[in-house]
Structure 1
Amino acid sequence: MVKYFCNTADIRSTWDHVVSAFWQRYPNPFSTHVLTEDVVYREVTADNRLLSRRLLMKTNRLPRWAEVLFPTGMSRSVYIIEDSIVDPVNRSLTTYTWNLNHTTLMSVEERCIFRDSVEQPATTLLKREAWISSGVYGFSRPIQEFGLARFKSNQVKAMKGLEYALSNLQGETPQRLLRDTVKDASEKAKEAAKSLASAAAVPQKPQQYV
């Protein structure tokens, strides 16, 4: 049994600005649970799509009833892989994220698609989906319910964080911002890849989910 979540939203900003803000949304005052982010892979394909993989670390506070069931020494941080594909031709940004650790307790997979709106000028359409599952026998249902409630809360914070980043970009040229961001992230990726090359759980190349 898997809990499924889906919603859509209209972001009142151009697709170019949304993509630029996407790379610069951390840190922000609405996502203090996101502790670190590192680019571990980046590539521009022959058809000009930008493929990226990032590793994020977030806090993972358990509910009180779960703290009774699980060891006190259990890590309270969760590692997240985020694959993204920027398609400038079709003007879309697709992201796919999932957690690397605590997967038996709870697995959360999320897909977001940001598309340029044809009907509404200066508007970006967002479709967000999530699949939440648990492998804890006898407790999977309450864990999934908790995970769904937390996901809904976090996705509201994520939208506020994106809006915060968009407000910081007012008056800037999105094409220049994206170019500079890619350049900086590529340099970080070279450093991060050296330390993560031996990590079997982090494959080198992002999967293309679209």
Structure 2
Amino acid sequence: MADAQVTRIVLADDHPVVRSGLVALLETLPGIEVVGQAGDGEAAVREVALTRPDVVVMDLRMPRLDGVEATRRIVADYPDVAVLVLTMFDEDALVADALAAGARGYLLKGAEQHEIERAIRAVAAGGAIFSRDVASRVLRRVTPEPTARPLPQLTPRERDVADLIAAGLSNTAISERLTLAPKTVGNHVSAIFLKLGVATRAEAIVRAREAGMGGRT
């Protein structure tokens, strides 16, 4: 990203009044700059391609392309861009879909200004954060589609990283093995911990090995 001191934001919401309110809110926060806005998922993907922000604040129910699919495309093409969901909806399935698509955070509209600021700064730094209303459900259950793949709640790249974690590799070694930036590896590790419901690398290794991972050399 261009300036390490400024967190650059793209806002994606199909309601202009909501976008205007978020812009007004974010402009009061130091070190945060809104560099793009989008009224639907396709526009959000384009804005990310044009501006390469640090964070996308993403609604989920939008026309043309919904926020879940937009998140999936953004995370696949720009893994250093963190997606923070800000929506009215807290259904378990929708939370699970957004998380599986690669979202780093999930807040409900109506969150206080300090909650939104804290969430933006957390996901920009590679962390993951969820509103109190949905956090316990996220940690307790991520509902994947039926599949024979190990740890199916992880994205394909997260499974690559988890496999190497299970094999005992450090983040630096994983970065070199997969030709990824160290920050990108750190972001994947944070997401893996969240999705597996673990707090330490040792616990992640156990979970991954129980799923049959760690056979890489």
TM-score (norm 1): 0.26
Higher relative CO (Cα under 8 Å, sequence separation at least 6) belongs to 1
TM-score (norm 2): 0.25
Choose between structure 1 and 2: higher strand proportion: 1
| Structure ID, larger Rg | 1
